With several copies, the nearest count.
Chain A
Amino acid sequence: MIEKIVIANRGEIALRILRACRDLGIATVALHSEIDSEAKYVKLADESVCIGPAPAALSYLNIPAVIAAAEVTNASAIHPGYGFLAENAAFAEQVVQSGFVFIGPTPASIRTMGNKIEAIRTMEKAGLRCVPGSGGPLGDDLDEIRLQAEQIGYPILIKAAAGGGGKGLRLVQDESELENALALSQGESSLGFGDSTLYMEKFLNNPRHIEIQVLCDNFGNAVYLGDRDCSIQRRRQKLIEEAPAFGIPDHQRRELGERCVEACTEIGYLGAGTFEFLYDGQQFFFIEMNTRVQVEHTVTEYVTGIDIVKEQIRIAASQPLTITQDEVSITGHSIECRINAEHPSTLMPSPGVIHHYHPPGGPGVRIDSHIYTDYEITTHYDSLIAKVITYGSDRDEALARMQGALAELVIEGVDTTTALHQKILAKKKFRRGVVDINFLERSLGH
Chain B
Amino acid sequence: MDLRKVRKLIEIFNASNLSELEIHEGEDSIRLNRTLTVVADQTTVQSAAHLPSDVSQTLKDIDIDDDPADDDGTFAVLSPMVGTFFAAAAPTDDPFVKVGDEVSPGQPLCLIEAMKIFNQIEAERSGTVLKVLKQNGDPVEYGEPLVILSE
> Which A residues fall within an 8 A CB radius of B?
34, 38, 49-53, 59, 64-65, 67-69, 71-73, 94, 98, 355-356, 374, 412
B4–A374 touching, CB < 8 Å: yes
Whether the pair A49, B82 counts as a contact (CB closer than 8 A) is yes
Q: Does B114 contact A (CB under 8 A)?
A: yes
Q: Given the complex, which residues of A lie within 8 Å of B141, measured CB to CB?
A: 49-51
| A355 B81 Cβ-Cβ under 8 A | no
Say whether B2 contacts A64, CB under 8 Å: no
User: Could you tell me if A50 and B143 are in contact, using CB atoms closer than 8 angstroms?
Assistant: yes
In the complex, what distance in Å separates the CA atom of A65 from the CA atom of B141? Answer: 9
| A49 vs B4: C-alpha distance when bound (angstroms) | 17
Q: B30 to nearest A CB, angstroms?
A: 14
Q: Shortest distance in angstroms between B39's beta carbon and chain A's nearest beta carbon?
A: 36
Pair A65/B2 contact, Cβ less than 8 Å: no
B83 neighbours in A (Cβ, 8 Å) = 68, 71-72
23 A-B residue contacts at CB 8 Å?
A49-B141, A50-B82, A50-B142, A51-B82, A51-B142, A53-B143, A64-B81, A64-B114, A64-B115, A65-B81, A67-B114, A67-B115, A68-B81, A68-B82, A71-B83, A71-B114, A72-B82, A98-B115, A355-B2, A355-B4, A355-B5, A356-B2, A374-B4
Give Cα A71 to B2, complex, Å. Answer: 28
Residues of A within 8 A of B114 (CB): 64-65, 67-68, 71
A151, chain B: closest CB distance, angstroms: 50
Chain A residue contacts of B117, Cβ below 8 A: 64
Within 112-128 of B, Cβ neighbours of A (below 8 Å) are at: 113-117
Please give the residue numbers on chain B whose beta carbons come within 8 Å of chain A beta carbons, in ascending order.
Answer: 2, 4-5, 81-84, 113-117, 139-144
Q: Which of B2, B5, B82, B144 is close to A69, meaning CB atoms less than 8 Å apart? A: B82
Choose among B2, B81, B83, B142 the residue with the greatest number of A CB atoms under 10 Å from its CB: B142
What is the chain A residue whose CB lies nearest that of B144? A50
Interface of A (DSSP majority class): mixed
A53 touches B142 (CB 8 A): yes
Q: How many angstroms between the C-alpha atoms of A286 and B75 in the bound complex?
A: 59
Are A71 and B84 in contact (CB-based, < 8 A)? yes
Docked CA distance A85–B2 (Å): 34
Which residue of chain B has its CB nearest to the CB of A52? B142
Q: How many Å lie between the Cα of A412 and that of B3 in the bound state?
A: 12
CA distance A34 to B144 in the complex (A): 11
- Asked whether A68 lies within 8 Å of B4 as measured between CB atoms, the reply is no
**Does A68 contact B2, Cβ atoms closer than 8 Å?**
no
Chain A residues near B143 (CB-CB < 8 A): 34, 50, 53
Residues from chain A with a CB closer than 8 A to the CB of B4 are 38, 355-356, 374
| Contact A65 B5, beta carbon cutoff 8 Å | no
Q: Which residues of B contact A67 (CB under 8 A)?
A: 114-115
Apart from A52-B82, A68-B81, A412-B2, 12 more pairs, CB < 8 Å = A49-B141, A50-B142, A51-B82, A52-B81, A52-B142, A53-B143, A59-B142, A65-B81, A65-B114, A69-B82, A72-B140, A374-B4
How far, in whole Å, are A65 and B4 apart by their CA atoms in the complex?
A: 25
Please tell me if the beta carbons of A72 and B5 are within 8 angstroms of each other in the complex. no
Contacts of A53 in B (CB 8 A): 142-143
| Shortest distance between the CB of A352 and any CB in chain B (Å) | 11
> Which of A59, A69, A98, A412 has the most B CB atoms < 10 Å from its CB?
A69
| A56 CB to nearest chain B CB (Å) | 13
- The interface centre, meaning the residue of B4, B113, B115, B116 with most chain A CB atoms within 10 A of its CB, is B115
> Which residues of chain B come closer than 8 Å to A71, judged between CB atoms?
83-84, 114-115
